[in-house]
Structure 1
Amino acid sequence: MRAITIETFGDPSGMKVVDLPDPAPSPGQVLIRTEAIGVAGVDAVIRRGTLGSGYPVGMIPGGEAAGIVTATGEGVDRELIGSRVWAFMGTGGAYAELALAQATDVTPIPEGLSSADAVTLGSASAVAHFALAQAHAARGASVLVRGAAGSLGIATVELAAQRGASAVAVTTSSADRGRRLRHLGATHVLDRAGAGDDDAPTSFDVIIDIVGGADIPAFIDRLAPNGRMVLVGAVAGFPPPDFGMALMRSFQKSRSFGVFSLASIPPSDRDAVRRDHFDAVTRGDLHAVIHDILPLDEAAEAHRLMDAGSVFGRIVLTV
């Protein structure tokens, strides 16, 4: 099979197109002939080497793909063979013509939903849903989505608006992105530092942070009393070691900070939410925003676009 591997961590030029033996499913797994592969922010973070040495040279990146099940491992219903599914591969394995996934991490794709749409929202909307729940984003809450231009940010904006948020503010890098986010449910547009229009809230009940990095303390300071900040990504890297002092300095405001990973949610709950979201896309209640569709061999170009900060929505690789 053809696949993309990371031969050198850092610049996208370290990604190579290679030929590898076809994989075979182990017990509990399915083998998928990929049709569409999602290019996520975490893929770029891993490729840069930001997350440390836990990722081997020669790894196949990519956490989600959609395609046709061609084989099943022991203990998996063979009736899955021939079905079109979305699948989660964890932190690697998706950038290939064939990919393995646990059968518990597979969701059928309904008629009317493309494989490209499925990998645009499959992980993103589920993370957004459960992160908002963890932050107790109730009706009437003011919400800030930090780093809203990617597929995860867009899904968070739409779902927060649908939950009845009193305000849905976003940080983004351009006026054009801001206009597009307003069409998707944002009520206020801020720059990356958090400055924006005069009528934007000065504090927020909920902040969903996809960016991370050195500016986390400044956004903790934007929490209202009893406000909750949930970190769901770290495209700008880890927070500074002393970021918790921002909470201690405002002790009497009872602010809180947490992190969220979809891995903490039972697979059956993730699957149920994902099925609902897939159906919502077919009805037009959620939107799969695709920046571009590129062939698998141009994965490095996809990562160059990610590094340039020019992507709105998701880039999808096709096979």
Structure 2
Amino acid sequence: MKAFAIQAYGGPEGLVAVDLPTPRPAAGQVLVATEAIGVGGVDTVIRSGALAAYGFEEGFVPGSEVAGVVTAVGDGVDASWTGRRVWAFTGTGGGYVEQAVASVADVVPLPADLSSAAAVTLGGSGVVAHFGLRHARFNPGETVLVRGAAGSIGIMAVQLAARGGAAAVAVTTSSAERGERLRRLGATHVLDRSGDGGQDAPAGYDVVLDVVAGKDMPSFFDRLDPNGRMVAVGAVAGQPPADFGTKIMTAFQKSLSFAAFSAATVPAAERSVVRGEQFAAAARGEIETVVHEVLPLDAAVSAHRKMDAGEVFGRIVLAP
């Protein structure tokens, strides 16, 4: 089967087409004929080599979520899964393929009215946004700042915060056009990437949900109101400065909190329940899934170039 693997760390050209054997599902797994593959920010970070120390070796196949039809099941898996259209989490990688394996615990059936492209736009990001806001102890009536709101996680966080009764939902983004699109999704104030420029925007926030991290993270920590909470749900710009902990302690008297959040810490069954609810809500039109573009699997390199250039609003989807 066709797949794309990281032949060399660095730019998008390090992704190359390879021919791999069609996998067989092991015990507790299913095999999915992929109809849609989500291209995530973490895929580009892995490809760059920034996470090489964490075991992502060259030859690694990126991609963590797919949607398609179950074609085979492993030992111990109910045969009724065969033929069902599903969303599946493939782990930290293994998704840029024509046939993907996944644990049945990380597979969720899809409503008939939800496209496979929409599913991989929502499946991973919706759960991160949902549990990220919960990790921040977000309550109705509070103010929220979503940093890096133009990606799929940020778009979902904006919608969930607005639906959850936030008093204000401010966003950072790179253009007025993107800002207007985010307003239509529930944002009340649009800021530039530095966090400035929002007319009548709150001076401080109860919650900052940060998808970006990087060297500018401390300036957004400064925007928290007393008892405010910042949660990092991504790090597409890399690690914060080494002295970030000093910044936290300097604000000691404001009782501020900082946390990192990974959906991997949420039990699989709980993640699946939330995904099922979100898929159903999207099928009913209550949640908007924003697909930037659907490209063929052969265009994986082009997809990564668009990601690196910051051209993507929502999610790029690959279709074998």
- Tell me the TM-score range normalised by the shorter chain: over 0.9
Does the residue aligned with 1:234 lie in a helix, a strand or coil?
coil
What residue identity is the alignment partner of 1:23?
P
Does the CA contact (< 8 Å) of 2:114 and 2:279 recur in 1?
A: yes
Does the CA contact (< 8 Å) of 1:305 and 1:311 recur in 2?
A: yes
Which blocks of at least 5 consecutive residues in structure 2 are unaligned?
Answer: none
Does the CA contact (< 8 Å) of 2:148 and 2:173 recur in 1?
A: yes
Q: Within 1, Cα distance between the matches of 2:49 and 2:132?
A: 26
Aligned counterpart, 2:130: 129
Does the CA contact (< 8 Å) of 1:208 and 1:230 recur in 2?
A: yes
2:33 is equivalent to residue 33 of structure 1? yes
Q: Within 2, Cα distance between the matches of 1:226 and 1:200?
A: 19
Does the residue aligned with 1:286 lie in a helix, a strand or coil?
coil
Aligned counterpart, 1:49: 49
Aligned counterpart, 1:17: 17
Does the residue aligned with 2:130 lie in a helix, a strand or coil?
helix
Does the residue aligned with 2:244 lie in a helix, a strand or coil?
coil
CA deviation after TM superposition for structure 1 residue 52, in Å:
2.8
CA deviation after TM superposition for structure 1 residue 18, in Å:
1.2
Q: Within 2, Cα distance between the matches of 1:159 and 1:107?
A: 20
Q: Within 2, Cα distance between the matches of 1:11 and 1:198?
A: 38
CA deviation after TM superposition for structure 1 residue 272, in Å:
0.6
Does the residue aligned with 2:43 lie in a helix, a strand or coil?
helix
Q: Within 2, Cα distance between the matches of 1:222 and 1:130?
A: 22
2:91 is equivalent to residue 90 of structure 1? yes
Aligned counterpart, 2:170: 169
Structure 1, residues 194-230: CA drift from partner, whole Å, max 9, x if none?
A: 1022300111000000001011111111111000000
Say how many residue pairs are matched. 319
2:258 is equivalent to residue 257 of structure 1? yes
Does the CA contact (< 8 Å) of 2:189 and 2:199 recur in 1?
A: no
What residue identity is the alignment partner of 1:195?
D
Q: Within 1, Cα distance between the matches of 2:222 and 2:49?
A: 30
Q: Within 2, Cα distance between the matches of 1:50 and 1:219?
A: 23
What residue identity is the alignment partner of 1:190?
L
What residue identity is the alignment partner of 1:219?
F
CA deviation after TM superposition for structure 1 residue 242, in Å:
1.1
Aligned counterpart, 1:111: 112
Please tell me the root mean square deviation across aligned C-alpha atoms, in Å.
0.7
Aligned counterpart, 2:300: 299
Give the 5 Å matches for 1:208-247.
208-247=209-248
What residue identity is the alignment partner of 1:301?
S
Does the residue aligned with 2:35 lie in a helix, a strand or coil?
strand
Does the residue aligned with 1:297 lie in a helix, a strand or coil?
helix
Aligned counterpart, 1:151: 152
Q: Within 2, Cα distance between the matches of 1:136 and 1:36?
A: 33
Does the CA contact (< 8 Å) of 1:230 and 1:259 recur in 2?
A: yes
Which blocks of at least 5 consecutive residues in structure 1 are unaligned?
Answer: none
Q: Within 2, Cα distance between the matches of 1:111 and 1:225?
A: 46
Q: Within 2, Cα distance between the matches of 1:61 and 1:161?
A: 32
Q: Within 1, Cα distance between the matches of 2:316 and 2:208?
A: 25
* Same amino acid, percent of matched pairs: 60
CA deviation after TM superposition for structure 1 residue 35, in Å:
0.4
- In structure 2, do the counterparts of structure 1 residues 38 and 277 end up closer, same or farther at CA, with 3 Å as the change threshold? same
Q: Within 2, Cα distance between the matches of 1:31 and 1:57?
A: 24
What residue identity is the alignment partner of 1:25?
P
- Normalising by structure 1, report the TM-score: 0.99
Q: Within 2, Cα distance between the matches of 1:208 and 1:45?
A: 20
Structure 1, residues 61-98: CA drift from partner, whole Å, max 9, x if none?
A: 00000011111111111110111100001210000001
Does the CA contact (< 8 Å) of 1:188 and 1:196 recur in 2?
A: no
2:142 is equivalent to residue 141 of structure 1? yes
Does the residue aligned with 2:197 lie in a helix, a strand or coil?
coil
Q: Within 1, Cα distance between the matches of 2:199 and 2:82?
A: 56
Q: Within 2, Cα distance between the matches of 1:72 and 1:243?
A: 47
CA deviation after TM superposition for structure 1 residue 179, in Å:
0.5
Q: Within 2, Cα distance between the matches of 1:275 and 1:21?
A: 31
Aligned counterpart, 2:313: 312
Q: Within 1, Cα distance between the matches of 2:246 and 2:218?
A: 8
Q: Within 2, Cα distance between the matches of 1:11 and 1:202?
A: 39
- Normalising by structure 2, report the TM-score: 0.99
Aligned counterpart, 1:285: 286
Aligned counterpart, 1:80: 81
